[in-house]
Chain A
């Protein structure tokens, strides 16, 4: 069974550009969550999608957005990139992600560097 796949693995962008990251969850999983990991702020929750609807949102500016498709694949977009957006972006998927207790499986992340 394939795990959570994030593409690309590495990305270098210039300040002011925009970027789109992709996450393919484990087959059958309907919940996808995104996290930003930086040395200074640690792991911070960005947002969660469940059945194509954003269910939870972290405390990030509107430059950070996401969406989920009918096949549960998710994308996150960061517009007008800033140097501080350089981070490891992790995606996690789970079967339901609702009240039912299900484990979240993480991908290997996308390392974004903004120059």
Chain B
């Protein structure tokens, strides 16, 4: 079955960067899209951006341009998200989620989430 396994919780200092990973299995990684989302507990969900694993092409929510960088490693079927210049406003749970090739705006499988806490 489709699985998305995210890396663990991170505690980082303001101004630092963090790289989150999302290791996939159970489907053909290179013919799907991966999106990333931000959710502050108790609040709604924000779409950060997406990457097509086939060629690394990306699309970002303007709000997160310069903050998030999405990459993939097709050899390990893993997607990554780099978050830079972190502030307390970046403290949240981050999810990766798969979008299928023809309906990539619909997230039919999600990772378990990774908590990022930005604190000095």
Q: Do A and B come from one complex?
A: no
Q: A residues engaging B (CB < 8 A)?
A: none
